[in-house]
Structure 1
Amino acid sequence: HGTRHPNEIGAAEVEAFLTHLAVEGNVAASTQNQAFSALLFLYREVLHQDLGPIDALRAKKPKRLPTVLTKEEVRRVLGHLSGAHQLMAKLLYGSGLRLMECLRLRVKDIDLAQRAIIVRDGKGMEDRVTMLPDSLIAPLQEHLQRVKRLHEEDLAKGYGAVYLPYALDRKYPNAEREWAWQYVFPSDRLSVDPRSSVVRRHHLDESGLQKVIRQAAQRAGIPKPVGPHTFRHSFATHLLENGYDIRTVQELLGHKDVKTTMIYTHVLNRGGLAVRSPLD
């Protein structure tokens, strides 16, 4: 539209532009959505105009199957990890946790007696309970002993106050220093919390685990794109392979809609008919 001012352009031009992106520009759905959001912000927040309903042709979102490792590949990748990183990766695979769910675990969320993990405020802000593998009980106990010693050292130096969500620090003034509220996977250094300027020990950064898992997969010779979420995909797929009900897997993963969980049946190439190739 040349050098025309946005004030002179309305819904029809916005629709034409978004359709152009999808049809002639052949952009991804996420790119078109980003352009649409930027235009909505411009008109609503800057120009104070309501564009009304926009009926543009939308770019198709590709349906991609998740990357899944075999059990042997999981074993090989885990074998190239060590320490807290290996323990976290084993939780991602053994409990089906998302990356940030793992990093944000607090001591009180681990129920060793019941062999369970309580995932607080998962995707959709809903709590859920998932399994804690028997094989991780002893390593987790040893890890928590080391973390507790670190916390006690912080307390002795006048630190040890962890971040609490939802203003819980005002409701429970002493909770931020209590052992139960500490992160299971704390950072190896103290830092200033930009929200409050308090010196705290935050949880480990997600980029660190992403990097070491990627490197471990390369060293293990896995010719697939592997990241933390690959372990969650593998968790779901292997449970279905072992014959567990899809509703059970849905609950463990915290999916609201079983259709989201159904993607793993496609990964298995079962599709309900368990079709075998004529070559086999």
Structure 2
Amino acid sequence: MDNFYPTRNVFSPQAREKLFQERPVVANAFPINSVHIDWDRLIAKRPYVLETVDEMPAYLLKPEVVKLLNNEHNPQQRLILDLMWTVGGRVSEVLSLTPASFSNDGYDVLVRLKTLKQGAGRPSKRAQARSKVRHIPLKDPILLDRIQTHIRAGRFRSTERIFPITRQTVNNRINRLVESLGGAPFSVHSHTFRHSFAIHLLLHGRPLKYISQLLGHSSVQCTEIYTNVLISDASHFLEGVDFH
């Protein structure tokens, strides 16, 4: 995979010579092409989920995240929030990104995340060295354009962090943004976007194991907590079941 450098455009696939002529590729879309989601119902049911499920993390739903994104007018902060929302990265992982973290394999633009669990302070070099690596596809052309614009405007070196700020700065900015929009019934911080990413994929029928891999969880059991959003509102499972 080609790394991104300021003089090259990793976001456009490079032409490659093929040893053999390939047969035409038939596009195969994911089996679930579209879903209808009642966002108002899910938002109304959320307090019940958070109150009744032990250790259930607070989460936002798409309309709420989009509202936050649209009202964040600082381009750098907007991009950080967008990346946490669309790739499920921890804030420490997103803040560790460099231009070399982005690559193009000829089919997809990928962002390379090192699984860095949050703790006090910045991850040590030793912790980063032994961290697992995961590659997350970036499918949104608008987001790709914003990433490229940010990297080119900042003229970052290939191994230079593209977000030279702290986790606390990100969270403080999120707090001010939420307050400016009237507040929230629970604390919203950087990790909330990671939880929201996982739930958003579940609502669209994506496999739990795949979501677990994207999040960098050690096992699927760590990811199962999010499925409570699907099963806590169980009344619809009984619709159409006739007992008499």
TM-score category, normalised to shorter length? 0.5 to 0.7
Counterpart of 1:142 in structure 2: which amino acid?
T
Q: Is residue 105 from structure 1 mapped to residue 97 from structure 2 by the alignment?
A: yes
TM-score of the two chains, using structure 2 as the length reference: 0.64
Map 1:122-201 to 2 at 5 A: 122-123=116-117, 125-134=131-140, 135-148=142-155, 151=156, 179-185=157-163
Counterpart of 1:115 in structure 2: which amino acid?
V
Q: Which has the higher contact order (CA 8 A, sep 6+)?
A: 2
Map 1:1-280 to 2 at 5 A: 63-81=54-72, 82-111=74-103, 114-123=108-117, 125-134=131-140, 135-148=142-155, 151=156, 179-185=157-163, 203-221=164-182, 222-266=184-228, 268-270=229-231, 275-276=234-235
Structure 1 gaps of 5+ residues are: 1-61, 152-178, 186-202
Q: Partners in 2 of 1:234 and 1:133 — Cα distance?
A: 18
Q: Partners in 1 of 2:160 and 2:179 — Cα distance?
A: 33
Structure 1 stretches (4+) deviating beyond 6 angstroms?
none
Over 3 Å counting, the alpha-carbon distance change for 1:121 and 1:277 in structure 2 is closer
TM-score of the two chains, using structure 1 as the length reference: 0.56
RMSD between aligned alpha carbons? 2.4
Q: Partners in 2 of 1:141 and 1:269 — Cα distance?
A: 36
Larger radius of gyration: 1
Deviations 1:58-85 (A, max 9, x none): xxxx942111111111011112212100
Counterpart of 2:137 in structure 1: which amino acid?
M
Secondary structure of the structure 2 residue equivalent to 1:97: coil
Contact 1:96–1:235, Cα closer than 8 Å, also in 2: yes
Q: Aligned residue pairs: how many?
A: 170
Structure 1 residue 133: deviation in Å? 3.8
Structure 2 gaps of 5+ residues are: 1-52, 118-129, 240-244
Contact 1:89–1:231, Cα closer than 8 Å, also in 2: yes
Deviations 1:134-186 (A, max 9, x none): 221111111001111xx5xxxxxxxxxxxxxxxxxxxxxxxxxxx2111121x
